[in-house]
Structure 1
Amino acid sequence: METPTDLWLAASIVVISLLLSAFFAGAETAFTAASRARMHSLEQAGDPRAAIVNRILAIRERFIGAMLIGYNIVAIGASAFTASVLTALVGKSGVIYATVGMSVLVIVFAEVLPKTLAISKPDKAALLMARPVAFAVAVMGPLAIAIEGVVRLMLRPFGVTIGEHQSILSATEEIRGQVALLHREGGVAKAERDMLGGLLDLSDLTVSEVMVHRTKMRIIDADLPSEEIVREVLASPYTRMPLWRGTPENIVGVLHAKDLLRALDAAGGDASGLKVEALALETWFVPDTTSLRDQLKAFLTKKTHFALVVDEYGEVMGLVTLEDILEEIVGDIADEHDVTVSGVRPQADGSVNADGGVPIRDLNRAMDWNLPDEEATTIAGLVIHEARAIPDQGTAFNFHGFRFQVLRKAKNRITTLRITPLASPAGGIRTPE
C-alpha cells in the first residue's frame, strides 16, 4: 500500500512533468511565432538572448525535434507513472481514472494554456526561454539529429526537402503583407503604410504611369518673341518649361526659370535681346517602360529633375520629374506656387466626384480604397477597360465593389465621374436609370 510520502512524491513528479510539458509546448510556439526581423534587430543592438534565439531558429528542424522529444518523454512518462500509482490504489479501474485525469491536465495545463500565453507575446516568451531552450536543444541534440535524418530519408521519395525555408511570396510581398497586417492591428499609421507601400512599388511602376501626359504639359513655342516667353515663364507654376518649334511634339530644349532670370538681369531687364533657345538645357528623353526605381537612380546620377517620356516610336508621351516619383512615396507635395486642382471631391453622401484623369493610385491613397491599377492608370481608363467601350454621359457601372457613374464627357474623353462605395460588391454593367 502506498504511504503518504509515496503519494506526495508521485504528485510532485506529475506536477514537474506537467510543468516541463508546458515549457516544451510553449517554447515551440513562442520560437515558431517570434519575429525574425525583431530578433535580428535586438541582436544587432547587443541583446545576447536574441542572439541565442536566432541561432536556434537557424536550426529550426533540430529545435522542433528536441521540443517534441522532450514534450513526449515527460508527458508519456507522467501518464504512465500516474496510471501505475492509481492502479495500485484503486485497482484496474485506476487506468481509466489516470487516462481521463491526465488527458484533462495535459490538454489544459500542458497544451492550451502555455501555447496561448506564448502566442500572445511570442517575442518576449522566446527571449525569456532562450537559455533553457538552448540547454534542452544541446542535451537532446544527438537524438533530434538522428530523428531528423530518419525524417529526411522518409520524405526523400516524395521529393520533399526540409531545411529550405523558401516563402511562396517574394521578399517585397512579404514586407508589404507585414506592413498591411501591422496597419490593421494598429501598429502602423495609414500615412506610414502608404509611404512604405509607395517605396516598395517603385520597381513595379513605370514612368508612363506617373508622368504628366502631353495633353497637360505646359510648353512654350520657341519662335515667340522673347518678351512673351518671359511672361509665359513668369506665369507658370513650374521652373522648367519645354520649348517646341514647328509642332508641339518637336521639343528643342528645356528652359529653366532661373537661367532665364539670370540672363534677364544681365541684360538690365531688357527681354527683347534675349536668345531664349540658347539658354535652354539639352532635352533628356527616357523610354516609357523605365521603372520608377531606375528613373530615380538616373535622376540622382545626372543631378537633374526633369525628363521627357517617349514611346517605342520616339513620340513624346509626357514628362516626368523627380517630384512625380517622390510623390509616389510621400503623397502630394504642394508648395505656395502650386496650382490647386480639385481632382477628388468627396460628397456628403459618401460618394466621390473625381476627374477622369485622376490616377487610380492617388484616389486609393486619398480615400483608402483598393481599386485595381494593373490594367489602367486613371479612373476614366479603369471605367473604359471594364466597360470595353467609351460610355455615354449618365451611364453607370457596378464593379470592384463601387458604382461608377459618368457625369460629364467631352468628345471621347470621360471628364467627370461619381464613384460610390457599394454596401455589397456587385459585378456587371448597369444601364442609366
Structure 2
Amino acid sequence: MESLDEPPSRSFRVFLVFTALFLTAAETVGTLQFGEIAVEVGVMILGLFLSALYSGSEVAFFSLVNKLEDLHLTGAHSKTDNRILTMLNKPRRLLATILIGNTFANIVSSVLAAVLAGKIAIVFELSTFVIYTIQIFVLTFMILILSEITPKVIAINNPLRVSRNMSGFVYFNFILFTPISKLIANSTLSLEKNLPKPDNRMTAQDLKTMAEMGEKEGSIKGEEREIIENVIEFGNTTVREIMTSRVNIVAVNVDSTLPEVISLIQDKGLSRMPLYENDLDTILGVIYSKDVLPYINTNLEKSGINWKTIARKALFIPATKKLDDLLRDFQHEKTHIAIVVDEYGGTEGIVTLDDILEEIVGNLSDEYDDEEEKLYTKFKNGIYIFDAKIDLDDLDEILGTSISAADDEFETLGGLVYHLTERIPNVGERMTYKDLELTVHSVKNNRVRKLRVMPPASVKNQKS
C-alpha cells in the first residue's frame, strides 16, 4: 500500500488530468445534454452502417446481371430469387433506389458528424477550423473504409449469397422509394436520349495498333497480324493494285484450234481464260477448262470448234473498283474472274478470286502449280536483279525500304521506271529513286524485263 507521503503513480496522475478536463468541460457547458449527444452518435453510426449495406448491395446485385442463370429459379421455388429477379428486371429503378438510400445515409452521418464537431469545439474552446478539418478527414476515412471499400470487397467475392441476404432489405427500399426512384429513372432515360452519343467507334489505325501490340505480347503470331492488317485495308484496295496486267494475260483467240487450246491449258495450268477476237480489247467471254473436256476425244482439227458457243459471260469492271465491292460482285454473278477495263473500254487486265484471297492470306499455290516463280536474285555483293513486274510492296519487304506510297500511280518496279523516264528506257540506263540505284538490265519488245537494284547500304559501301 502506497504511503500518503509518497508521490502519486504516473497512471493515477493521468487519471486525475482526464478527470479534471472532464469536470472543466462539464462546468463550461453547464447544461450539456449527454443523452442528446449519445443519440446523435448512435444515428451517425447507424447511417454509416446503412451506407455499407447499400454499397455492398449495389455491387452484389449488379454483379448478377450477366449471371442470372446462377439463380436456378423455378417458379415459386425461391421467393428470395423472385425478389432479386424482379428488381434486376428494372435496373435503372434498382440503381436509383440504392443510390437514394446510400446518399441519404451519408448525408445524415455527415450532418451529425458536423454537429458533434461543433459541440466539441465549443466545449473545449478549440479552433472550429481545426476541429472541422479533423472531422472531414476522419469521416471521409470511415465512409471509404467502413461504408464503401469493405462492403464492396465482401460483396464482389460472393455476389449471389450477399444478394440473397440483402434481398429483403433492398426490396423494402425498392417499394418504399418507388415514386422517387421512378422519377429519377425516367429522368435519366430522357436525358440520355437527348444527350449526344459519344463516338466510340474504333478506327482502322486502332485495330492495327491492337494487332501490333498482340504480336509483341505473343498473343498472336506475325502471320495472323498480317492477315488482320490485310483485312483492315481490304476495303481500301483497288483492283488495279492486284490485277494481272494486260501484257501477262493468257487468253484464247476465237480462231484457235482445239489442240492449241488444250496445249495452252496444259502449259499454263489455268482453269479460266478470256476469249477474244482480233485483240484483247474485244473480249467475247471466258473459256472454262472443264467445258473443253468433252471435246478432248473428238476429231475437230479440220472442222474446228466454235468457241463462242461454249464461252461463258464475262464480267467487266473498272480498275478503280474496291476489292470488297468486287467480292460481292463475284458472289452475285457466281464467277471467279473479271475483265478489268480502262476509261476507254480497253482491256487493262484481269482479276480472279485467287488474287483477292492472296491479298488477305498471302501467296496461294496448289498441287498443280510449278515451283514458284522467283522474281529476284541476290548476289553476294548485296546487289539484286529484280523482275520488272515485282510489286513495290514486295520489293520494300525484301529490301526493308519504303519505296511504295499509297498515292503512287504505279504498282510495279517496271511502272516506277516508266514513271521516272517517261519513255522506254535503254539497257544500261541508270536512275536513282529514294536512295535506290536502278539500272535497266534487259528490255524485250519495248518492255523492261529485269532491273539491277542496288540498295542504300550497298550504294554507301561502294562510294566509301
**TM-score when normalising by structure 2:** 0.56
Q: SS in structure 1 opposite 2:296? A: helix
Partner residue, 1:337:
368
* CA–CA separation in structure 1 for the residues paired with 2:161 and 2:400: 39
1:34-433 alignment to 2 at 5 Å?
72-87=103-118, 92=128, 93-104=130-141, 139=177, 141-145=181-185, 148=188, 162-165=194-197, 167=199, 169=201, 173=202, 177=206, 181=210, 184-185=213-214, 195=227, 198=230, 202-224=234-256, 226-267=258-299, 274-275=304-305, 277-278=307-308, 279-338=310-369, 340-342=372-374, 374-376=406-408, 380=412, 395=432, 397=434, 405-407=436-438, 409=440
State the Cα deviation string for residues 107-157 of structure 1 (Å, max 9, x = none): 788889999999xx9xx99999999999799956345258649x96xxxxx
Residue correspondences, number: 382
* CA–CA separation in structure 2 for the residues paired with 1:5 and 1:347: 94
State the Cα deviation string for residues 274-316 of structure 1 (Å, max 9, x = none): 4263443343322334333333233223322111011221111
* CA–CA separation in structure 2 for the residues paired with 1:184 and 1:249: 48
Of 364-373 and 352-361, the range deviating more from structure 2: 364-373
Q: SS in structure 2 opposite 1:243? A: strand
Q: SS in structure 2 opposite 1:249? A: strand
* CA–CA separation in structure 2 for the residues paired with 1:88 and 1:198: 72
C-alpha deviation, 1:97, in angstroms: 1.3
* CA–CA separation in structure 1 for the residues paired with 2:85 and 2:208: 22
Q: Structure 2 vs 1, CA of residues 294 and 141 (structure 1 numbering), >3 Å: closer, same or farther?
A: same
Maintained 8 Å contact 1:310/1:317: yes
Aligned AA (1:14) = L
Maintained 8 Å contact 2:55/2:151: no
Partner residue, 2:51:
17
Aligned AA (2:51) = S
Q: SS in structure 2 opposite 1:295? A: helix
Q: SS in structure 2 opposite 1:281? A: coil
Q: Structure 2 vs 1, CA of residues 52 and 27 (structure 1 numbering), >3 Å: closer, same or farther?
A: closer
Q: Structure 2 vs 1, CA of residues 409 and 47 (structure 1 numbering), >3 Å: closer, same or farther?
A: farther
Q: Structure 2 vs 1, CA of residues 314 and 114 (structure 1 numbering), >3 Å: closer, same or farther?
A: farther
Partner residue, 1:157:
none
- Structure 1: state its 5+ residue gaps: 153-159, 398-403, 422-429
* CA–CA separation in structure 2 for the residues paired with 1:300 and 1:107: 61
Q: Structure 2 vs 1, CA of residues 338 and 68 (structure 1 numbering), >3 Å: closer, same or farther?
A: farther
**TM-score when normalising by structure 1:** 0.59
Highest CA radius of gyration, 1 or 2? 2
State the Cα deviation string for residues 375-406 of structure 1 (Å, max 9, x = none): 2486658x969xx9569957353xxxxxx735
* CA–CA separation in structure 2 for the residues paired with 1:127 and 1:368: 57
* CA–CA separation in structure 2 for the residues paired with 1:341 and 1:9: 87
Maintained 8 Å contact 2:338/2:351: yes
* CA–CA separation in structure 2 for the residues paired with 1:224 and 1:319: 20
Maintained 8 Å contact 2:49/2:147: no
Maintained 8 Å contact 1:285/1:309: yes
* CA–CA separation in structure 2 for the residues paired with 1:370 and 1:315: 32
Aligned AA (1:405) = L
* CA–CA separation in structure 1 for the residues paired with 2:453 and 2:153: 50
Q: SS in structure 2 opposite 1:235? A: helix
